Structure 1
Amino acid sequence: MASSSSSGLTFKLHPLVIVNISDHYTRVKSQMNPTLAPSHTNNAAAPNGGDGVVSTLPPRVYGCVIGVQKGRTVEIFNSFELLYDPSTHSLDRTFLEKKQELCLVFLSLSLSLALSLSNFLILC
């Protein structure tokens, strides 16, 4: 379990959270940047002028983390992805509301929003 301290707070991050975020990021990146099939009949360059891989900016993924805060210690032990629609620039609210039911199972848990991988912000 990773642990760090900032401004007197201690954060404990369970490995499952890191695996979940990594898995979600990898799936989104794979869906956004599919490898173009190589041509066996000619040696023409890829349509994008590259080596057969579509190059775009790294994807931004969204998700929630689940954890507890006891005093000055925040322990994050699970997470799940959120569905983001880039055409409307919004999250799927229905999907989030269904996932919030996870917190009802464990009443002592708080649901926090992680805005992105590059700007990992936790709102308690």
Structure 2
Amino acid sequence: MIETWRHLLDLAKSWVLFAHGTCVILMEPAADLQQQATSLLREYGPVRPGTPAGDFNITDLDDAPGWVVTGHHPDILTYVDPSELENHDDFTVGLFGRGKRDRDGHDLAVIHVEDKRAQCGRPPVHQ
């Protein structure tokens, strides 16, 4: 999953990957990337039906198999691999990706931090 996100994302951006495939891109990285991403996902990850937190959009990928599912925060993305589903219609993919984001928003289990601050002219802050 890490290599997939590396392939899909802007090489200059710092990001944090959570256990169920949700990636938080940090447009303005703080000192502690993991804490910053966890705070964002805690607020914007859980699904709340009837609110913008229940909405989703699907992006078909050209550079990798599968889809990226987005929600109400533009920097929180969830990858769905075709092998995870039998039915690949947009609604099914979207619900599945939204569910993965919801689980990540509750579990908050970080599996990878990609720190690109040094490449942007700022030294990385060690966590």
Structure with the largest fraction of strand: 1
Classify the TM-score, shorter chain: under 0.3
Structure ranking higher on relative contact order (CA contacts 8 Å, 6+ apart): 2
Structure number with higher helix proportion: 2
